[in-house]
Amino acid sequence: MCGINGILHHDPSRPVEARVIERMRAAQVHRGPDDSGAWIHQNVGFGFNRLSIIDLSGGHQPMLSEDGAICLVFNGEIYNFQELRAELSQQGHRFRTKSDTEVILCAWQQWGEQCVTKLRGMFAFVLWDERQRILFGARDRFGIKPLYYWAGEQSFAFASELKSLLEFPDVPRKLDGTALEQFLRHRYVLAPRTILEGVRKIPPAHSFVVANGRFRLQRYWSLPEGPARKVSERDAVEEFRHLTDETMRLHLISDVPLGAFLSGGLDSSAVVAWMKRIGTADIKTFTVGYDSPESELPYAKRVAEHVGTDHHALVLTPERFRDLLPKIVWHMDEPVGDEASLPLYFLSEFAKSKVSVVLSGEGSDEIFLGYEAYPWHTEISKRNAIPGLPLAARLAYALFPNRFQSLRTVLGVPLETRYQGLGQVFRTTELPEVFDPPGDFDRSISALYDACKRKEAAERMSFVDMNSWLPDDLLVKADRMTMAASLELRVPFLDHRIVEFAWQLPLSLKMDGYNVKHILKRSVADMLPQEIIQREKMGFPVPLKSWFREELTSYAQETLLSQGGVTDFLKRDGLRSVCEAHQTQDRSRHIYALLVLDQWCRHFLHPAQSVK
């Protein structure tokens, strides 16, 4: 993994300052402590930090083409680079290194903007083509690797992390009111918006061109359209196994030690089992837990013993949470109120002492319909289709409000309203407690529903989560927490060929009633114990409910109510009310999200910034 940054001044006579490129580069040095570099050519400048994984001696960046006309900075891994290298060699291209970086350079020369469609992997890259005088860049199909940008009237700047981009003096530090609303509702900000006004993220599966002072963004990949394939369960399992065998082998290419995160859930356990299936020797696995009922340590140990891994476990305490939260928020870049960032940060540091690359199971729940919300809302949709039932439910609630309270929020309510994604924090009725939105209700989630109208309810929810929760929460957390430890994370379930395969499967092969991830369970039936395959999903749980009622009660309230943080933007009485209400009802998710926002404001904003 790496960190990239750069500046393009639209005026060719305005030179890029080396000291600004260096400040931007230094701000994200944790992304690549093994090597660094800079390249400045008049009004264009790039910076780079490298975490060396493949071709340790030959992958230095910024990398120039053989004739010096093209310069590239690249963050990620191209898993099919050897295949592309062979194809490009047949076209007459000569290679000086064994790195996947040089493959991108030659691919640009061969295919131009279409080169990105050839790449199989996780990536964010930007190149300058002197002959055409254009800046071209792209981000991978699911947003595994980050890419922020600021498109000003005089300049264009980009970076892997927001903190790096903010080292460019032209970038303003002003909170975006709509983004703040998104964060409070979902605990993250949806691309292309960021928490800062005017700063944007390149959306997943998009490339861009900057030429003659103009910025152009285009999508280069989408999920396959059309009806589901007609395929038997037996054939689907066989095809999935063959495809995953190939994908896992590609994801295990590395010139440095490699291991896997293992929570004891189905997804990470399947990854570890598959590593064993294709013959990986000496698998090192890493897990984290607590001295509490939420801990998954026993399940991870069970899988490690079954597969035969070199297993390592770490136990966390609430004191470590309080002391490290500011550092975690700084590394996260944008406020992301996902409490699993805490264990993942410690787990990444823990794993880095043994390996430089880890695999994990991110993406499986979204593509194979693994969340319990999917079958539950599917059942509600079926009931809402029964003539007269929604009306009867509303009547029952009107007559007996205490007895039928739960009916009010689901029966007769459209899917688009009752399911806004997995990360929801403040509901519509709760938001005024702490914040008055600056304008109309944000419709980002509604727009995603509009893009998949013809799909079944579960697949529509999956589509929403794949385009919001996955890239803007899960993968942000995964990238930043591992990069904080200079550890590379690979996510084989998000290989685009696996995702395309899953999207085109009949719904019944992914979700059979309340049996979620059916095809994945069938595919690993002979690799894992049934108790692991069938157990309920937990993820990386954090015992925040008890912590905020006991050890961290005073810390939470005193932090949120002190000057210089969220009190500049949110209602002080509402903040106090949320903290006090947690003693009788679970508001731990609200408190954690507010603490993250508070620490983010203290790190990245000047005091008393106004919200637009």
- Sheet containing 357-359: which strands, arranged edge to edge? 310-316, 284-290, 258-261, 357-359, 488-490
CB contact at 8 A, 352 and 326: no
For residue 33, list its beta bridge partners.
Answer: 50
Cα angle value 322/323/324 (rounded, 5°): 95
What secondary structure letter does DSSP report for 223? P
Rounded distance, CA 75 to CA 362, Å? 19
- What is the Cα–Cα distance from 176 to 166, expressed in whole angstroms? 15
Half-sphere exposure in the Cβ direction for 461 (13 Å, CA): 26
CA distance 419 to 445: 9
**Beta carbons within 8 Å of 222's beta carbon, 6+ residues apart:** 205
Q: What are phi and psi of 440, to 5 degrees?
A: -65, 160
| Straight-line distance from the first to the last Cα atom of the chain, in angstroms, rounded to the nearest whole number | 36
Closest C-alpha among 6, 4, 15, 12 to residue 46? 6
Amino acid, res. 440: D
User: What 3-state class would DSSP assign to 371?
Assistant: coil
At residue 1, the 3 state secondary structure works out as coil
For residue 457, CA distances in Å to 16, 388, 452 come to: 51, 20, 10
For residue 355, what is the DSSP state?
-
**Where on the phi/psi map is residue 101: left (φ > 0), alpha (ψ -120 to 50), or beta?**
alpha
Coil, helix or strand for 313?
strand
Strands (E), 85-182: 121-129, 134-139, 148-151, 155-159
Q: Cα separation of 109 and 66, whole Å?
A: 11
Distance (Å, whole) CA 549 – CA 557: 11
Strand ranges for 171-257 from DSSP E: 199-201, 206-211, 214-219
Verify whether residue 2 is a known catalytic residue. Answer: yes
CA 611 – CA 230 distance, rounded (Å):
52
What DSSP character marks residue 175?
B
**DSSP per position, 323-375:** HHHHHHHHHH-S----TTHHHHHHHHHHHHTT-SEEE--TTHHHHTT--THHH
* Length of the chain (residues): 612
Question: Annotated catalytic residue: which of 2, 115, 579, 601?
Answer: 2
Q: Which residue has the tokens 């037996």?
A: 234
Catalytic residues: 2
